[in-house]
Structure 1
């Protein structure tokens, strides 16, 4: 059986698409293609055949890339097409209508809300229109997979074949921590205001304790970088703050081995963040790192139930600073929180559980193909 993943905007080596879903399916299926934006076709070291089309020039440049994707997908002639955005799924629907292909819609973002953000004051109107469009294509899916209960319930209103496949991390084996005398606090990910970078720095200024702070990742834009660096230069001269830039996955793991606690301080202005289970939370837990997390219901319920960190109001630097100082003053509790988080990922918050569910879906669709 030939499988083809479709993505209009994600990176070829996207964590969920490539390292989780594709490599899980590769254990059982040999013939797998990925059609994605890129410069040239190639075969990965895992034997995945990558077919590329030119990236879109801006967020509204959508028609030409989709025509290119359809033409490549038609040539690939797969049995199942697995699409990761509404516009790539529109291509899958076209393949189903014309050639009878089986199709899966993988909705791992709040796409209507995200796309409507481009329309400013017309956000609510745009969101409503995109919801209508999403429903008009999603009803054609042979299966819909998605990442949380909010999205599961939304899609179940008009498609009976919906499965929860969360974005939990792939277990990488137990990490042996090496704590230094000075506690190391880490943030790993994109650096932007809506992910809490400025509030975190304001909290560091208020903290009464000595610690090292590592920020791993790229700034979203030059404006944010300038604001952050100005704040650090003017307010944190006495603090041990380091920005590493973007580094490789293995290097991130090395930093996490030394991490005392990690920040997941998404800001409430973004509805999508409030109603999410960020992968960063589980990556910290998997590395035995205590977390300081936003007090949003979905995130807080996990942190509190697993006793793996502290939840705070992410817009209040004073609350964040108090959490930093609490963890520094209570070393044994912080270490225990890290161990609790690791145990929870081994027991339930890991990709291996989802891998089994994904395979069941493919086996079911494969059985329908044989029986038809």
Structure 2
């Protein structure tokens, strides 16, 4: 079986979705013949992410005088007959491939037409005509089933983490820092977090970068430290030494369908996680067992839960930390790739038996 993982954006990239795509494709290549088709962005893709595998890399041009999806698709069309299945997370790319006779597995991360009615026809077409659908969480699968009433095979295959770490026994006797790692989009809740920690005798350390950095710097009090962009290796080391990590997503449609990759990274590095209580997060975090939940967007409840964590005996926090690690170990890129290959083989076998 030959699989093409298509990513019509520039690689390498600092984006979380790029990290997911490259790591997943790399692990797929260890099981089946896999090619990553993407828009080239200069540097060596695998070196940028610090990973090593036999993944076939196929950079495709998206520019001829101007940068355009039509140019990318023109070049992509030449590849269709070379592969058995195309794994895609971009809706318009999925539509193009299906209309040109490709077997497409579409990975869903949101329901686009909720925010953009113009894309309804394309989205309905993909959910009806793809060979299979992959959802990153249960909540999204349920909502999509109501929206599209699809009949094609579907499976929940969550994102993962590639950190190769053992359980880290942390010293919870002194807690004076909390960490946020990720993007600066408003729906990610970093503004909420900066506001919530004002006046607290605790330091908020923020790892990340983005267009809104200066805006956030102006909002931040003295107990907020911006550490800037860090590589994956640097993030591993930061999380090995952190103790309390936060996912502060605020109520928006984006948050409703999101399960951030950083959640798996926090868990894998034995951190105590304090997260917004969206259903997608509750699928992973069980309050008081492997982390803690607070009412999304509620500053009072956030502070109540944070103070509760800070008041807990060290032994209880060690138990939460160990449970977090046990949870995180389930979600690796390797396990994700295995599930994808198994799903595609099931679809392939059903297609053969029904033909």
TM class by shorter chain equals 0.7 to 0.9
Which one of 330, 354, 361 corresponds to residue 343 of structure 2?
Answer: 361
Higher RCO (CA 8 Å, separation ≥ 6 residues):
2
Normalised by the size of structure 2, how large is the TM-score? 0.82
Shift of residue 358 of structure 1?
1.6
CA separation of 1:166 and 1:43: change in aligned 2, threshold 3 A: closer
Which residue in 1 is equivalent to 2:20? 16
1:148 aligns with 2:140: no
Aligned partners of 1:252 and 1:41: how far apart in 2?
20
Aligned partners of 1:25 and 1:301: how far apart in 2?
25
CA separation of 1:17 and 1:303: change in aligned 2, threshold 3 A: same
Shift of residue 262 of structure 1?
0.6
Which residue in 2 is equivalent to 1:168? 160
Which residue in 1 is equivalent to 2:264? 282
Which one of 262, 273, 278 corresponds to residue 255 of structure 2?
Answer: 273
4+ residue runs over 6 A deviation: 40-43, 368-372
Which residue in 2 is equivalent to 1:52? 59
Confirm or deny: 8 A CA contact 1:69 1:91 kept in the other structure.
no
Confirm or deny: 8 A CA contact 2:28 2:341 kept in the other structure.
yes
User: Secondary structure of the equivalent of 1:9?
Assistant: strand
1:66 aligns with 2:73: yes
User: Secondary structure of the equivalent of 1:262?
Assistant: strand
Aligned partners of 2:280 and 2:86: how far apart in 1?
31
Aligned partners of 2:43 and 2:298: how far apart in 1?
48
Per-residue CA deviations over 1:65-89 (Å, capped at 9, x if unaligned) read 3333324x24x72222222211111
Larger helix proportion, structure 1 or 2? 1
Per-residue CA deviations over 1:186-237 (Å, capped at 9, x if unaligned) read 1111123321112212221142x3x332211112x2xx322221223xxx23
Shift of residue 90 of structure 1?
1.8
CA separation of 1:135 and 1:296: change in aligned 2, threshold 3 A: same
Q: How many residues align?
A: 338
Q: CA RMSD in A?
A: 3.1
Gaps of 5+ in 2: 47-51
Aligned partners of 1:264 and 1:92: how far apart in 2?
36
Normalised by the size of structure 1, how large is the TM-score? 0.79
Which residue in 2 is equivalent to 1:315? 297
Aligned partners of 2:351 and 2:268: how far apart in 1?
38
